[in-house]
Amino acid sequence: MIDIIEQEIIKLSPKLFNTLLMDHTTNKNICWATENYKHLGPEYYPQEPIKKSLITGSNTNVIQPRVEKELKAQVQRTKENAEVFTPSWICNEQNNLIDESWFGRKDVFNHSNNQGWTTIIDHIIFPKGKSWKDYIDSRRLEISCGEAPYLVSRYDTVTGKEITVENRIGLLDRKLRIVNENTAEENDWYHWTKRAFESTYGYEYQGDSLLIARENLLYTFIENMEYKFSHEPSEKQLQEIARIISWNIWQMDGITFSAPYSERPRVQSQLTIFDLMGEPESNETEPIPCKIFDWRSKKSLEFKTMIDGGNTNDK
């Protein structure tokens, strides 16, 4: 039940998948970036784009969460990509530390105990000088996010056990709990929910895990709306949230900060003596540096500029 059947997403809105597969760095679809599907044919090779037709219709079971993959595939992925997922109770303890630092007190959302946790059900109180809106806007990033268990916890990625909306422990889950507690009117709820998604980021190398992470965030949105208002979101809302997700949960090689298997002509940082003498340009290529989006300033920037010191390039 934890596997989101890709066919279901198409039923929600046929256009939604185009958005969920989008890569804003290359302006193409995200690519497989894993050897696991090669046996299905050349369109499933690592450098190839993930296309809707390859994972829907009769191919709807091709992509499965790690916990439902065959043991052989799990072992291969661990060897090749260091893929070992973190159980929810550990994600919870680490996320608790982040909140302990933000709130200046322990156990804000739950008490962790015996490889589990007990949710605190009272409304969350904010420290002096910080509002619930500041919490929604404070940015969070899960590096090498796999299926994004630190961001959303619809299920335990290790045991596969489902987790109810009230008991979730991800960084985005916590923001959405705060929105649920502090808004009553639906337009207001949607406004702050969108901002919660806008301030939540993650990147991952392998395309199938990345797509599952994106689906998990989208379904977290749907499930929270059903929890709060007992109805599904509109198609327009689904599209808007999917667009934010497609920017914020992006495909990147975390070592080079570039899109896997991407290529562009090499950008010369300095003119050489040969350029000055009019020699033909080099036809060397380089991987494309990943772009992310700052929703508050409404600008895209290269991720690596944040590592290098925060200079931004307007799109």
Ligand X SMILES: C[S@@+](CC[C@H](N)C(=O)[O-])C[C@H]1O[C@@H](n2cnc3c(N)ncnc32)[C@H](O)[C@@H]1O
Site residues for ligand X per CB under 6 A: 81-86, 142, 144-146, 149, 157, 204-206, 209, 253-255
Least Å distance, CB 127 to ligand X, is: 28
CA atoms of 108 and 92, how far apart (whole Å): 12
Least Å distance, CB 204 to ligand X, is: 5
Between 83 and 99, name the residue whose CB sits nearer to ligand X.
83
Return the bridge partners of 155, or none. Answer: 162
Candidates 119, 299, 150; CA nearest to 217 is: 150
3-state secondary structure at position 67? helix
Between 104 and 254, name the residue whose CB sits nearer to ligand X.
254
- Other Cβ atoms less than 10 A from the Cβ of 273: the count is 7
For Cα atoms 265, 271, 274, give the angle at the middle one, nearest 5 degrees.
Answer: 90
Between 10 and 141, name the residue whose CB sits nearer to ligand X.
141
Least Å distance, CB 209 to ligand X, is: 5
Cα distance between the two ends of the chain: 40
Between 25 and 193, name the residue whose CB sits nearer to ligand X.
25
Q: Which amino acid is at 263?
A: E
Q: Residue 206: which residues within 8 A CB-CB, separation 6 or more?
A: 32, 33, 34, 77, 81, 83
Between 146 and 289, name the residue whose CB sits nearer to ligand X.
146
